[in-house]
Each structure stands twice: as C-alpha cells, then as structure tokens.
Amino acid sequence: MRDLKVTPIKNGTVIDHIPSGMALKVLKVLGISGDVTSTVSVLMHVPSKKRGAKDIVKVEDRELNPRELNKIALIAPEATINIIRNFNVAEKHTVSLPDRAVGIVTCGNPNCITNAREPVESVFLVTSRDPLRMRCQYCDRELEDVAGHIL
C-alpha cells in the first residue's frame, strides 16, 4: 500500500478524483486564496488506478454546500466529495452537473444582459457533458472557457 503523503483530517471536506492538474482551479472555485485560517492540503498528480493520475484537495473545518458542489462538477465531473466529521466520513457525495446551471458561471459575452446591472442570475443550459458545452439561456451564446467563468 502506497503512503498518502497527507494525514487524515478531523473535520472538513475531502475532494477526490479531481482530474490531474485541476486542483488549483478547484481552490479558485472555492474562493481559497492565501488568507486561510485552517489547513488546506493540495495533492497534485497522485497515482490513480482509474486515470493514471489525479489531484486531491482537503479543506479542513469547512463543509461544502450544494452550489459549491455544482461548481466543482464543471471542472471535475467525476470528483467525489467526502464530508469528514471527527475523522469519520459523515457524508459522501458525487458531484453532478444539473441540466440548468443557475448562478454558477458568468456569461462570456460582455454584451449579454446578465452582465449588465440587472437583478438576475445567469442561467446556462448544459447541451453536452463530455465535452462540456453550455449555452446561455439569455443571449444564446455558447460559453468558451467554462473554468475561467466560474463565479
């Protein structure tokens, strides 16, 4: 058995099966930058039987909410999320991308009404999951660079 280079966490969230190289994007999506107050472990290019290599992110003292799970689904569609309480896996989630993604990405079209000062959330229709393709319900444009437009 291979040693995991990071020890188990007491409370928090473990995001596993992130595509190799996407861990830093996951941190960005979760709004984790330099000013953390609890430990955040990032493992990149961990050997994986299924995919050859994967990334793992462990965030201590924070439990992800459903909207955050949806956002992670955009960049890591096969990720698994374990909520840890007192060293035990209290909840296990697989992420899933809804058919309509509401309020989790901004439209890439600067002239879209959702980018004007209006009281609406962006709405994207997922037209394909692999490869991921999304279309803005308002301006009808397809979103290029999904990861770069996550809110």
Q: In the sheet where 52-60 sits, what is the strand order?
A: 40-48, 52-60, 12-19, 80-85, 88-94
If one asks whether residue 138 binds other proteins (CB under 8 A), the answer comes out as yes
What is the SS3 assignment for 117-148?
CCCCCCEEEEEEECCEEEEECCCCCECCCCHH
Among the candidate windows 18-26, 62-70, 96-104, 117-125, which touches other proteins by CB under 8 A? 117-125
Comparing CB distances to other proteins, the nearer of 42 and 139 is 139
Element (H, E) at 15: strand 12-19
From the list 20-28, 47-55, 78-86, 111-119, the region that binds other proteins by CB under 8 A is 111-119
Which residues are registered as beta bridge partners of 15? 57, 81
Residue in 75, 79, 63 with CA at minimum distance from that of residue 101: 75
Q: Interface with other proteins includes 121 (CB under 8 A)? A: no
The answer to the question of residue 131 lying near other proteins (CB under 8 A) is: no
- CB under 8 A: which stretch of 21-29, 64-72, 81-89, 110-118 binds other proteins? 110-118
- Of 12 and 108, the one with the shorter C-beta distance to other proteins is 108
Residue 69 dihedral angles phi and psi, to the nearest 5°: -60, -40
- Which residues within the stretch 45-84 sit at the binding site for other proteins (CB under 8 A)? none
Residues that bind other proteins (CB under 8 A): 109, 111-114, 116-120, 136-142
